[in-house]
């Protein structure tokens, strides 16, 4: 049983506090023991010294020390800045109660050796008087509501005042409370109002206005030169943000606290002029007397030990402190001295983790670490280091974003737009009408000819693409491209005509320095990263990928710690706007868009070429442009797989400037020789990269190998160029270094070849992801054999030593890092394309034969992959092609129809045993082309696909069409089977999904969804959708699910449910499939008459009109969008508008009233959906557009 007692905190002259026993009438110094302690405990003997009999020795310690004035004031008032007088409970004035949860943290310091368990039961109530202020500490066991603790007088509640609310502002009391609960304290620097507001919104506990402002803002080499006036200036800027939560802490700069007087004066300036809540100063024992003076003056102080930047020169620079036993002991003594002097917390900078942990355990106040490990009471980082705004940050810094590259990109865009007169455009300008301008010009005496030549926003004549005054002679025609002879690549002399420069979306080709050839996963990643810093061109044969990039931009995502990216592990990391990337089809480079008078057939050098065949006399419909000859690229990054190199060489001269460089980042050996035959060896730079990515879907790439690096291996004449390129790639977020030593460069290249030779062929032949190689112990010996042979050949080729075990560990590490990826060789094999086996294992086998080394495993793997590739007409190969990113229709196993939960789970277990990912498409039947697009997308992303057909009664209201909803299960199954994309279809009965029929009261409810839009129109609908989806997800256990954008709010509901319930499923939304008229495909379109079907597309046109107006204006309010949609729909009196609902695309959060929507080009843009519902002839139509 724990001892319970009552004590008071007495304030002596000067403001120091002392804990003393207390009795009923506040006059006796002898306290009353309320509960006896267990006889077996270590207690004090009965005495008459005022401490109750039976008090423990460690608790008695708290009676033998003084509390500094600052801490005493915090205990009594709850703040160090409170100046209100205390009141006495017997004087008839109000009795003050403090929040027990907050007070318990303060009472922890009444005994520096009281355990947290003892502190949990303490409550503090404050009393006061005119002569001596007393704080009563009630320590009780809380044995029950009837337990009597203290006298009746002390238990009597006050009726004169209500309990005071705990402040939301972070104070020393909250800091002590967090420390007691072992909750980390967050501290971040800020130096101005906007950054302080951002930190406060993020929930940062303490905003530090540090003297680091001298280095990161003012450009000084150190912090010593920062003045007191500068600190006051920046503190006031931060305080102007009026943080609702964060405490503002100001640094005392070097030289501002050399004496007690100067410390008091300058700390007072920070509080009065800078409006900070507390101050920080550096130094341990040497500064303890200053801390004591400041706290005695009522100023909250946080100390700073370890590396003190203001005194860094005296310890040999910025180096770790506390490495030796003597240094660690001195550091501990410094921290204890600051605590004893009254510091509320202590910052530990650049201290070994073990030492920081020891100091944190010995102190009774929180420690805030920076470069001190994870065991401190909190962490602090510098704003600019955290956001990537300061070059070469310290090693202990974690950079949470790279804003520098994004800012550079934005500013370059601004400069380019101004220079090219793209900004300001009409929407950013006020332009007088022609009549108004003529009147003004006439009054000012400006001639009409001058007006024509210098019209606002018009380029000078020499910059216009056409004749003078922007008019072209009618007789003048663009010269037709000159076609070469038959069977030769069609090469054109690019001109700068506006027509040839236009993209499919009407955007002009923007000259760029970089072109990336290869639109696969790694090529798309490199293009996206480079586009963050400057304009970039992406060349690929994947038309659907290029169309997505051109329309919506390129999403680069980072996976979470989970191994399978098909699960909902990828969160949006970076969106590269479409205007930052030129998209060019490699097929158009061979046969550009033109009307050909004769049949021209372009063949490819091998079956694996990405170019394909373009033939016929019809006009090509490829929508991508050809860049003008003057805009060819200084650097072309070749990121195609090895077997596509020959095809890329056919159009490489059309992309590369006369003095440009080709950087080959391809797997295997020999690719640079092929390129050199076209452009010369001096213009070919070899590079290897351990970056890894996977192309999740068109326009979306997942950066899986985020810890990899790219190494440039230049010839001696290429070193300067390589250094410049490495700097550019690093700015773009691609970690890159240059290895100019030829011997070390050879080692780097062979290590990379060893990884490819081990991983690529095995994953291709076994049809598994990279991570499967580490999961299967039986493959370890096979990997070891491959590595042993590669290492033997590498030794002969380079003369360097290669350790087999080290290389094997590197292979296994890469397999783990890229576990969710499919190797490039596997993707080629499953799509029926030629593989790069000749450049990888084939090269190893050939060089082994040259040196007389046995390499049977590499020879075997080469033969097997070649054989598998040649069997493209085999049924197994055809079935594999059906799972490919770019596959066409292929043979597929017969469709399994599953009718019970047991059958579905048996199917799922088989998929798990084969390590196959499962995609799921839930439907209610009555399938149309929109549903089929969902299963095709699921088939492209996942190894196996399950669809369901279930008309869910829970999402129909009593007056809706549950009974008449079209049901044609056999026809739907036949359509699914015909796609060859679905492995199984789940067709359950109502009793299978809802065993308690009619349905029981178990629901999944999404809070607030029934208040607006479709939810308000159909109460209970989304509850039914969420419930049935959660049941189906639990039955099928998919890795990914696929929904159509047409039901946009439903997609947001599913995303929210998956996130909130931690289902670990990747939710994919596929764009709406429309009829040629623009009408969104829907099962209920069958209800429309011919006349209604002809009128129905007006809904989509109205939404598109609002979308176009938003793009033109840059921003509109939600009410303005509603008015635009309603105005368009009013042209058909028979179409009754039910609602226009605007919501966040990801979260479903409503945007309404005067809230603004921003165009995609606006820096404040967030993806928003505009959805609307109308009534037409008794039927309901729903549609939406996505602003992204």
DSSP 3-state of 174: helix
Q: Where are the beta strands (DSSP E) in 350-455?
A: 367-370, 378-381
By the 8 A CB rule, do 1149 and 1121 touch?
Answer: no
Residues 6+ apart with CB under 8 A from 267: 252, 257, 279, 294, 297, 299
By the 8 A CB rule, do 360 and 331 touch?
Answer: no
Q: For residue 1177, with 0-12 CB atoms within 10 Å meaning exposed, 13-18 middle and 19 or more buried, which class applies?
A: middle
Q: Output the six-digit token pair for 271.
A: 């509080």
Give the DSSP per-residue string, 102-145.
Answer: HHHHHHGGGSTT--HHHHTTEEEEE---SS--EEEEEE-----T
DSSP 3-state of 737: strand
Which of 672, 664, 639, 637 is CA-nearest to residue 521?
639
DSSP 3-state of 917: coil
Return the exposure string of 375-399: e unless at least 16 CB atoms fall within 10 Å of the residue's CB, then b.
Answer: ebbbbbbbbbbbbbbbeebeeebee
d(CA 850, CA 844): 10
d(CA 22, CA 1035): 66
Q: For residue 718, with 0-12 CB atoms within 10 Å meaning exposed, 13-18 middle and 19 or more buried, which class applies?
A: buried
What is the C-alpha radius of gyration for the chain, rounded to an integer number of angstroms? 37
CA distances from 316 to 313, 320, 353, 577 (A): 5, 10, 21, 47
Q: For residue 1132, with 0-12 CB atoms within 10 Å meaning exposed, 13-18 middle and 19 or more buried, which class applies?
A: middle
Which of 716, 711, 717, 718 is CA-nearest to residue 738?
711
Residues 6+ apart with CB under 8 A from 1: 35, 36, 37, 38, 141
Sheet of strand 1150-1151: strand arrangement: 1150-1151, 1135-1144, 1168-1176, 1179-1187
d(CA 763, CA 830): 11
Q: For residue 803, with 0-12 CB atoms within 10 Å meaning exposed, 13-18 middle and 19 or more buried, which class applies?
A: exposed
By the 8 A CB rule, do 533 and 409 touch?
Answer: yes
Active site residues: 349
Q: For residue 121, with 0-12 CB atoms within 10 Å meaning exposed, 13-18 middle and 19 or more buried, which class applies?
A: middle
By the 8 A CB rule, do 268 and 232 touch?
Answer: no
By the 8 A CB rule, do 500 and 584 touch?
Answer: no
Residues 6+ apart with CB under 8 A from 598: 617
Residue 428 per-residue DSSP state: G
d(CA 527, CA 516): 6
For the chain, the residue count is 1188
Q: Output the six-digit token pair for 349.
A: 């900078």
d(CA 291, CA 289): 5
Helix, strand, coil fractions of the chain, as percent rounded to 5: 40, 15, 45
d(CA 471, CA 1169): 41
């Amino acid at each position: 049983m724990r001892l319970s007692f009552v004590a008071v905190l007495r304030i002596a002259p000067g403001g120091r506090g002392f804990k003393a026993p207390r009795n009923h009438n506040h006059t006796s110094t002898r306290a009353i023991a309320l509960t006896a302690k267990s006889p077996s405990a270590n207690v004090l003997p009965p005495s008459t010294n005022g401490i109750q009999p039976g008090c423990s020795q460690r608790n008695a310690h708290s009676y033998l020390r003084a509390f500094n004035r600052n801490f005493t004031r915090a205990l009594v008032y709850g703040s160090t800045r409170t100046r209100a007088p205390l009141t006495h409970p017997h004087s008839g004035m109000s009795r003050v109660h403090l929040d027990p949860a907050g007070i318990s943290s303060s009472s922890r310091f009444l005994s520096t050796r009281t355990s947290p368990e003892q502190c949990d039961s303490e409550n503090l109530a404050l009393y006061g008087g005119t002569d001596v202020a007393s704080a009563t500490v009630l320590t009780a066991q809380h044995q029950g509501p009837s337990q009597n603790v203290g006298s009746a007088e002390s238990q009597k509640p006050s009726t004169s005042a209500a309990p005071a609310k705990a402040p939301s502002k972070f104070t020393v009391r909250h800091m002590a409370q967090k420390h007691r609960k072992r909750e980390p304290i967050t501290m971040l620097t800020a130096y101005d109002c906007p950054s302080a507001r951002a930190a406060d919104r993020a929930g940062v506990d303490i905003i530090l206005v540090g003297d680091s402002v001298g280095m990161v803002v003012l450009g000084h080499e150190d912090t010593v030169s920062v003045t007191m006036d500068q600190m006051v200036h920046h503190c006031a800027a931060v305080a102007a943000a009026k943080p609702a939560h964060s405490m503002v802490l100001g640094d005392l700069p070097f030289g501002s606290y050399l004496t007690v007087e100067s410390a008091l004066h300058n700390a007072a300036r920070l509080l009065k002029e800078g409006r900070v809540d507390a101050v920080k100063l550096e130094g341990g024992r040497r500064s303890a007397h200053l801390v004591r003076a400041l706290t005695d003056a009522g100023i909250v102080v946080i100390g700073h030990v370890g590396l003190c930047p203001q005194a860094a020169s005296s310890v040999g620079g910025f180096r770790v402190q506390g490495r030796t036993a003597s240094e660690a002991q001195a550091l501990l003594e410094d921290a204890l001295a600051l605590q004893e002097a009254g510091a509320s917390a202590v910052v530990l900078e650049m201290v070994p983790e073990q030492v920081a942990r020891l100091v944190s355990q010995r102190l009774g106040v929180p420690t805030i670490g920076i470069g001190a490990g994870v065991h401190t009471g909190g962490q602090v980082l510098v704003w600019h280091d955290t956001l990537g705004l300061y070059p070469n940050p310290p090693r202990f810094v974690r950079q949470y974003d790279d804003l520098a590259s994004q800012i550079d990109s934005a500013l370059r865009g601004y400069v380019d737009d101004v220079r090219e007169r793209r900004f300001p455009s009409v929407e950013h300008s006020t332009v007088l009408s022609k009549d108004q301008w003529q009147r003004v010009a006439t009054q000012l005496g400006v001639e009409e000819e001058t007006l024509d030549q210098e019209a606002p926003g018009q380029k000078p004549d020499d910059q216009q693409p056409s004749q003078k005054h922007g008019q072209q002679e009618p007789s003048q025609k663009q010269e037709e491209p000159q076609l070469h002879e038959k069977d030769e690549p069609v090469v054109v002399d690019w001109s700068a005509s506006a027509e040839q420069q236009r993209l499919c979306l009407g955007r002009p080709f923007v000259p760029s320095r970089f072109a990336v050839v290869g639109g696969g996963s790694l090529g798309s990643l490199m293009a996206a990263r480079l586009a963050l810093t400057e304009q970039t061109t992406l060349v690929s044969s994947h038309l659907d990928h290029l169309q997505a990039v051109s329309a919506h931009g390129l999403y680069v995502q980072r996976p979470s710690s989970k191994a399978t990216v098909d699960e909902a592990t990828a969160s949006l990391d970076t969106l590269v706007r479409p205007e930052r990337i030129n998209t060019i089809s490699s097929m158009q480079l061979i046969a550009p868009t033109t009307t050909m008078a004769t049949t021209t057939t372009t063949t490819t050098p091998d079956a694996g070429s990405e170019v394909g065949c373009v033939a016929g006399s019809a006009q090509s419909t490829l929508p991508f442009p050809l860049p003008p000859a003057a805009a060819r690229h200084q650097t072309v990054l070749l990121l195609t797989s090895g077997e596509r190199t020959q095809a890329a060489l056919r159009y490489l001269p059309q992309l590369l400037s006369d003095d440009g460089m080709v950087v080959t980042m391809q797997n295997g050996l020999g690719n640079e020789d092929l390129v050199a035959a076209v452009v010369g060896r001096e213009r070919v730079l070899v590079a290897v990269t351990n970056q890894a990515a996977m192309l999740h879907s068109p326009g979306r790439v997942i950066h899986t190998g985020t810890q990899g690096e790219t190494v440039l291996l230049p010839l001696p004449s290429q070193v300067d160029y390589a250094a410049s390129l490495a700097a550019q790639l690093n700015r773009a977020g691609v970690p890159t270094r240059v290895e100019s030593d030829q011997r070390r460069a050879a080692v780097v290249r062979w290590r990379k070849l060893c990884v490819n030779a081990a991983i690529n062929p095995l994953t291709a032949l076994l049809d598994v992801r990279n991570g499967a190689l580490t999961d299967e112990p039986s493959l370890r010996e096979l990997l070891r054999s491959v590595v042993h042979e590669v290492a033997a050949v590498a030794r002969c080729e380079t003369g360097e030593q290669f350790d087999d075990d080290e290389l094997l560990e590197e292979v296994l590490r890469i397999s783990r890092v890229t576990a969710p990826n499919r190797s490039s060789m596997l993707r080629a094999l499953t799509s029926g394309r030629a593989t790069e086996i000749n450049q990888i294992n084939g090269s190893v086998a050939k060089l082994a034969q040259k040196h007389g080394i046995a390499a049977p495993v590499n020879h075997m793997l080469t033969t097997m992959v070649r054989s598998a590739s040649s069997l493209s007409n085999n049924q197994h190969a055809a079935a594999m092609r059906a799972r490919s990113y770019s596959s066409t229709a292929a043979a597929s196993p017969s469709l399994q129809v599953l009718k019970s939960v047991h059958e579905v789970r048996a199917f799922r277990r088989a998929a798990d045993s084969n390590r196959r990912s499962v995609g799921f498409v839930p439907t209610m039947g009555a399938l149309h082309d929109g549903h089929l697009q969902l299963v095709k997308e699921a088939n492209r992303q996942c190894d196996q696909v399950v669809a369901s057909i279930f008309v869910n009664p829970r999402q129909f209201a009593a007056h809706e069409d549950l009974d008449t909803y079209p049901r044609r299960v056999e026809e739907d199954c036949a359509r699914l089977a015909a796609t060859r994309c679905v492995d199984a279809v789940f067709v359950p009965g109502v009793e299978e999904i809802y065993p308690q029929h009619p349905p029981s009261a178990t629901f999944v409810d999404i809070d607030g969804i029934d208040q607006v839009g479709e939810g308000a129109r159909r109460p209970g609908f989304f509850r039914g959708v969420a419930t049935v989806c959660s049941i189906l997800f639990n039955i099928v256990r998919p890795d990914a699910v696929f929904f159509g954008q047409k039901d946009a709010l439903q997609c947001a509901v599913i995303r929210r449910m998956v996130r909130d319930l931690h289902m670990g499923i990747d939710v994919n939304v596929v764009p709406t499939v429309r009829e040629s008229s623009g009408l969104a495909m829907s099962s209920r379109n069958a209800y429309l008459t011919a006349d209604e079907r002809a009128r129905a597309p007006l809904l989509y046109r109205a939404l598109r009109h609002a979308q176009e107006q938003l793009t033109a204006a840059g921003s509109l309010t939600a009410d303005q969008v509603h008015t635009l949609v309603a105005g368009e729909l009013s042209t058909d009196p028979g179409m009754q508008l039910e609602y226009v609902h605007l919501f966040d695309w990801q979260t479903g959060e409503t945007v309404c009233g005067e809230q603004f929507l921003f165009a995609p080009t606006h820096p404040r843009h967030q993806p928003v959906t505009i959805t609307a519902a109308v009534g037409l002839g008794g039927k309901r139509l729903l549609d939406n557009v996505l602003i992204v």
